[in-house]
Chain A
Amino acid sequence: MFNMTAPLTAPAYDVTAIRQDFPILSKPLPNGARLVYLDNGATAQKPRQVIAKVVECLENYTSNVHRGIHALGDRVTTEMEAARETVRTFLGAAETEEIVFTSGTTMSINLVAHAWGRKFLQAGDEIVLNEMEHHANFVPWQQVALERGAILKFIPLTADGRLDLTALDDVLSDRTKLVAVTGLSNVLGTVNPIQEITAKAHARGALVLVDGAQSVPHMATDVRALDIDFLAFSGHKIYGPTGIGILYGKRRVLESMNPFLCGGNMIRRVRKESSEFADLPSRFEAGTLPITEAIGLGAAIDYVQSLGLDAIAAHEDALMRQAYSQLAQIPGLRIVGPGPDARGAIVSFTVEGVHPHDMAELLDRKGVAVRAGHHCTMPLHDWLKVPATTRASFAAYNTPAEVDALCEAIRYARKVFRLS
């Protein structure tokens, strides 16, 4: 008969089973230690579903897209366009044409800075940034502003590292053309209120670009509900291959822009003296795309959706809260950024007496992989008044035991430095 003690449904989130999807997690490190991978903010590990898709593509239908009138060309084009459609539904975008394949977040943002910024920015126009941005969402704007005579303005940060939105009305003006903001800070872990920002920016006639490199893999991002004009993210941080990324842009905005790179695929008609550009999204996809990687990204998003992005987010939130409270108990350790309620699955910190680089090296001995340095956010580290921090960033496959291992390894590092 029925076993009444057994749960009626399978456990919602089975991290043990998820770990088995990632071959690297069961391989010992060169020093024999077990890998505790907490550098997911830099890049995520790849599940066998993605690896298998990439191999399937390479072994069975390697060919160029939109070109060969042959069976392989048809197949690879179908697969790549299916991946584009997967990205569209994942982001809640209205049209597949609004999904542009790029090489990553950096390329997506540079594409907008060049193809939109150089065309539309005039001297005296304003671009709104803030000090927590990654260099990828900072330097392109700084450089195009210098070139066009535009002005950079900054949303101030609160003492705990959130955007001070009470100041936003003063920072925005009728000259504001763009607000560029990260969905989730790669150092502070701060989750930014995108909806409020797009509402206020649009009221002033400005566009909003969201750097989704850290947010898209870890929290639902509906570009229409949030009314985002441009969204950039990278495949490799969402369990997909390197070399592929996405630029989402509203059709109306993308259509107003000229191409960034020129060459094959992005033209409709070329004459000796002039060219007609292709329709979206090809207009922004000059040259042969990272086809295999795009197909791999489709598989990665399918994988995330099979686990459920909300379930992943809830799992990561619990790990972050555990880490936040356990780390706070270590003597001399200071966490940067806001409390757990305003934070995604990233915790960066400093430890009195142990430089972040030494910390990372000592954690590595215990198999704990973290990142140390300025994390491509030098203006933020100037604001924090520290040269570097150590960052632990969590993903779908991390466990509470790994948070314990992190804390234990930090205590070991303090011991090596004769601090306890």
Chain B
Amino acid sequence: MSDDLYDEHILDHFESPYHKGRLEHPTIAHEDKNPLCGDEVHLELLVDEQNRVKEAWFDGHGCAISQAAASILTQQIEGKSIDELKEFTAPQMLDLLKVRLTASRQKCGLLSFKILKTMIYTLDEGKSKS
């Protein structure tokens, strides 16, 4: 854990994000805002037949924490099954950021995580209905 919020890891992801952009045919897409800072993240997943995340992409703008976190999240979840992602917790997400966040900045760090959780819930809902 680094005490420096703006360490290399965060700034590298902020400057050169992994998979920033949009998919042509995402299986599911969702977006949300953090009204405190005006952060916006749009997250898209391509889920294969085996229920694994084949590709994850994000788009958005906002503070370095929210955007770096989205980049880190897309990198981490590719290849994971939806069932595995159900086990993925907020503290684990915060650990991936490798920096200590104050309570107010955790909202920034967890924005994309929150979107992911909403998507998984929506996927499940869709399945139980069909």
Contacts and interface: CB of A to CB of B under 8 A. Distances in A.
B62 A362 contact: no
Nearest to B15: A418
Contacts of B15: 418
A85 interface: no
Given A387-B62, A418-B11, A357 B6 contact: no
Nearest to A374: B38
B65 interface: yes
Contacts of A358: 6, 63-65
A50 interface: no
Interface in A345-396: 355-358, 361-362, 372-374, 381, 387-388
A416 interface: yes
Contacts of A356: 37, 63
Given A373-B37, A388-B38, A357 B108 contact: yes
A362 to B, nearest CB: 7
A120 interface: no
A418 B64 CA distance: 13
A13 interface: no
B36 interface: yes
Interface string B49-69: 000000000000111110000
A416 to B, nearest CB: 5
B59 to A, nearest CB: 14
B37 A388 contact: yes
A357 B67 CA distance: 12
A361 B38 contact: no
B36 A373 contact: yes
B19 interface: no
A416 B7 CA distance: 9
A355 B37 contact: yes
Contact of A387 (B6, B11, B61, B105): B61
B37 A361 contact: no
Nearest to B62: A355
A417 B64 contact: yes
A381 B63 CA distance: 16
B62 A361 contact: no
B6 A373 contact: no
A381 B15 CA distance: 25
Contacts of A361: 5, 105
B40 interface: yes
A122 to B, nearest CB: 34
A373 B38 contact: yes
B6 A381 contact: no
Most buried by B among A357, A387, A416: A357
A310 to B, nearest CB: 37
A361 B38 CA distance: 15
A416 B6 contact: yes
A343 to B, nearest CB: 24
Contacts of A355: 37, 62-64
A193 B25 CA distance: 54
Contacts of B64: 355, 358, 417
Contacts of B62: 355, 357, 387
A248 B37 CA distance: 34
Given A362-B6, A416-B6, A357 B63 contact: yes
A355 B37 CA distance: 9
Contacts of A388: 37-38
Contacts of A357: 36-37, 39, 62-63, 65, 105, 108
Interface string A25-48: 000000000000000000000000
Interface in B33-49: 35-40
A387 to B, nearest CB: 3
Nearest to B36: A373
Nearest to B14: A417
Contacts of B5: 361
Contacts of A362: 6
Nearest to B35: A374
B41 to A, nearest CB: 12
B37 A372 contact: yes
Given A358-B64, A387-B61, A417 B37 contact: no
Contacts of B105: 357, 361
Interface string B85-109: 0000000000000000000010010
A361 B104 CA distance: 11
Closest 3 pairs (CB-CB, A-B) = A387-B38, A355-B63, A357-B37
Interface of A: 355-358, 361-362, 372-374, 381, 387-388, 416-418
Given A355-B64, A373-B38, 5 more contacts: A358-B65, A373-B37, A381-B38, A388-B38, A417-B11
5 contacts: A357-B105, A361-B5, A362-B6, A373-B36, A417-B64
